[in-house]
A and B are shown apart, each in its own frame.
Chain A
């Protein structure tokens, strides 16, 4: 039985100009110890998807369809009070901006102890010891000193380590990391991702990694989900998808990377922009930018078709499969 099941999730935003459908039906499962990457560009809905797992979408957004289940809890229908026992406890979250987690007027120690006391009812001394242990786990230099410091006294990389330590405090089953290293320098990014990977592997923690960086996904995850305009257009094992992408968008994304172009040559670019949520094309959302578009693509929205542990949502493949049959 998988740890987390997202089924046909829909998230919408009620705006004065109408309702925007940020997520239009996505489904995926997460097993124990598994690491999944959710990849896409800005506007694809990957952050919204991550936030909705713990129902952190604020007004005017709301979950308009589908369900999210964790063990035997249905997260999508639970109240805030019920969710509070799971948030930061069994499911922890790491954000891109460390200042979204860290309170600038409290010391690191105070914040860590507060988290421990909230979920594990520890006394202060035990909590302090536990906090210190976690800081050591994330390889922070001079951890005793850090407990007494304020967030502004730490560098970006160190703050992210503290965030990871806080996420691990209550031995979560799942960590959701939303672009945890996008704001960091590349050498620090490499260190932090390595740390996150090591900790997840050693403690059997499942990871949902949201990012736009295919390289990071390739190095850290086992499975990947590619999102476009609020839907999953491809999913499968990371190696398979990166080495052999099926969907034209995924192919385009990989080919557009400077890594993939010869020096001095023009890069392969995907023309146009991701559609705004209030102007999603009919049929397949990617059709205006796709070089393989047919009439069918403009009319029919392709289904997500699974085969051999992969799935792709593209009319090219649904046609092909029809012919195979």
Chain B
């Protein structure tokens, strides 16, 4: 078995967003004193992940867990507050746009909202040709045209679509066009941020199949963000479960579904409405989801966890390898309480 090469490394990533940006707005009168109160949304709180070449890492979590923020930091759309992003051995989060350019060709992104990911004033031809012209300035017009035609064909886009505008297409078709745009630079790494959540069920299958085909044909490595665990089971090789900016559990897809260790993962899996008669015990979570503004102390999950004890309220659990290749950050697992 060949040694897998690390393609993407996320090291100790932290990212928070101040809520009130202006200095003057941060000053309040509290307890008779003029104080500066800086409230922040703690979107990512210490994330470490590694993606090897050829893997499809799915990052799963519900809204507010920070998974989309991770995607955006990886793609250099936002900079980290702390931590590093390393791509193929080079640190990329601190690069200027010129030095970043070669990486832009190798890393591409697919977005969630098909209705906002295409420029409404550009024809499909313009949208698809622009990246090709930009990244292949030395090629002839004919060569570029060939790249365009090949890409369109691999994604199932009818050549007659090129003169039309995005508003003439359905959600699924627009998503195909976005995928074509991402594939046109011949990337090796794709970040897909909930690419099928906004689509109808039967179209989801089409687009997911398309991504799987592209992955096989082009040997792509994926960072796939989703909230749908059944898609994870289908598409992913590895899974990381996120909650309020931290990774609860990380392992291969098979291990996760065979034996979910973290209580949050168990709750997520049991919450999927299954088609079959459901006689499993439902892992119930109580309480409301805390906001990322005021993070709970200790383990961020303790406010909703059915297994929380005093240690959980004060001490943040460290990520530990509970089983070979299966990492969990949970005191209850560590203490063998589950």
Q: Do A and B come from one complex?
A: yes
A-to-B contact residues, CB < 8 Å = 41-42, 141, 155-158, 185-191, 193-194, 212-216, 218-219, 239, 242, 252-254, 256-261, 263-271, 273-274
Q: Does B308 contact A (CB under 8 A)?
A: no
A249 to B272, alpha carbons, bound, how many Å?
23
Q: Which of A263, A270, A273 contacts B205 (CB 8 A)?
A: A270
List, in ascending order, chain A residues with CB within 8 A of B229's CB: 186
Whether B227 lies near A218 (C-beta < 8 A) is no
Q: Shortest beta-carbon distance, A260 to chain B, in Å?
A: 8
Whether B268 lies near A258 (C-beta < 8 A) is no
Whether B282 lies near A190 (C-beta < 8 A) is yes
List, in ascending order, chain B residues with CB within 8 A of A213's CB: 201, 273
Q: Which of A41, A257, A269 contacts B275 (CB 8 A)?
A: A257
Q: Which of B202, B275, B277, B284 contacts A259 (CB 8 A)?
A: B275
A219-B274, A256-B201, A263-B233 known; A185+B209 contact, CB < 8 A: no
Q: Shortest beta-carbon distance, B213 to chain A, in Å?
A: 8
Whether A273 lies near B172 (C-beta < 8 A) is yes
A186-B62, A218-B276, A269-B206 known; A141+B201 contact, CB < 8 A: no
| 11 residue pairs A–B, Cβ–Cβ below 8 Å | A185-B63, A187-B268, A188-B62, A189-B273, A193-B273, A214-B275, A218-B275, A253-B201, A253-B202, A259-B272, A259-B274
Q: Shortest beta-carbon distance, A151 to chain B, in Å?
A: 15
Whether A41 lies near B274 (C-beta < 8 A) is no
A258 to B273, alpha carbons, bound, how many Å?
12
Whether B200 lies near A212 (C-beta < 8 A) is yes
Whether B271 lies near A189 (C-beta < 8 A) is yes
Whether B201 lies near A41 (C-beta < 8 A) is yes
Whether B205 lies near A269 (C-beta < 8 A) is yes
Q: Does B230 contact A (CB under 8 A)?
A: yes
List, in ascending order, chain A residues with CB within 8 A of B203's CB: 41, 273
Whether A158 lies near B288 (C-beta < 8 A) is yes
A191 to B287, alpha carbons, bound, how many Å?
11
Whether A269 lies near B273 (C-beta < 8 A) is no
Whether B63 lies near A42 (C-beta < 8 A) is no
Q: Does B188 contact A (CB under 8 A)?
A: no
Q: Does B231 contact A (CB under 8 A)?
A: yes
Which chain B residues (270-311) contact chain A, with CB distance < 8 Å?
270-278, 282, 284-285, 287-289
Whether B202 lies near A41 (C-beta < 8 A) is yes
Q: Shortest beta-carbon distance, A147 to chain B, in Å?
A: 17
Closest 6 CB pairs of A and B: A215-B273, A185-B62, A256-B205, A190-B271, A258-B230, A269-B205
A271 to B63, alpha carbons, bound, how many Å?
31
Whether A186 lies near B212 (C-beta < 8 A) is no
B-to-A contact residues, CB < 8 Å = 62-63, 170, 172-173, 200-206, 208-209, 212-213, 227-231, 233-235, 253-254, 267-268, 270-278, 282, 284-285, 287-289
Whether B274 lies near A258 (C-beta < 8 A) is no
Whether A215 lies near B205 (C-beta < 8 A) is no
List, in ascending order, chain A residues with CB within 8 A of B63's CB: 156, 185
List, in ascending order, chain A residues with CB within 8 A of B268's CB: 186-187
A42 to B277, alpha carbons, bound, how many Å?
26
List, in ascending order, chain B residues with CB within 8 A of A267's CB: 205, 208-209, 234
Whether A218 lies near B274 (C-beta < 8 A) is yes
Q: Shortest beta-carbon distance, A150 to chain B, in Å?
A: 16
List, in ascending order, chain A residues with CB within 8 A of B275's CB: 214-215, 218, 242, 254, 257, 259-260
Whether A41 lies near B267 (C-beta < 8 A) is no
Whether A215 lies near B201 (C-beta < 8 A) is no
A187 to B263, alpha carbons, bound, how many Å?
12
List, in ascending order, chain A residues with CB within 8 A of B201's CB: 41, 212-214, 253, 256-257
A267-B234, A269-B205 known; A187+B278 contact, CB < 8 A: no
Q: Which of A261, A268, A271 has the most CB of B within 10 A?
A: A261
A218 to B212, alpha carbons, bound, how many Å?
28
Whether B208 lies near A273 (C-beta < 8 A) is no
Which single residue of chain B is at the shortest CB-CB distance from A194? Answer: B282
Q: Shortest beta-carbon distance, B134 to chain A, in Å?
A: 32
A141 to B235, alpha carbons, bound, how many Å?
38
List, in ascending order, chain B residues with CB within 8 A of A215's CB: 272-275
Q: 11 new A-B pairs (CB below 8 Å) besides A193-B273, A269-B206? A: A157-B288, A157-B289, A186-B272, A187-B267, A191-B284, A219-B278, A252-B202, A256-B205, A258-B205, A267-B234, A270-B205
A258-B231, A269-B206, A270-B202 known; A187+B271 contact, CB < 8 A: yes
Q: Which of B172, B212, B277 contacts A266 (CB 8 A)?
A: B212
Which single residue of chain B is at the shortest CB-CB distance from A187? Answer: B271
Q: Shortest beta-carbon distance, A262 to chain B, in Å?
A: 8
A215 to B269, alpha carbons, bound, how many Å?
13
A257 to B265, alpha carbons, bound, how many Å?
21
Whether B253 lies near A263 (C-beta < 8 A) is yes
Whether A42 lies near B272 (C-beta < 8 A) is no
Q: Which of B227, B230, B273, B277 contacts A216 (CB 8 A)?
A: B273
List, in ascending order, chain A residues with CB within 8 A of B209's CB: 266-267, 269
A284 to B270, alpha carbons, bound, how many Å?
39
Q: Shortest beta-carbon distance, A255 to chain B, in Å?
A: 8
Q: Which of B212, B234, B273 contacts A190 (CB 8 A)?
A: B273
List, in ascending order, chain A residues with CB within 8 A of B208's CB: 258, 267
A254 to B201, alpha carbons, bound, how many Å?
9
List, in ascending order, chain A residues with CB within 8 A of B213's CB: 266
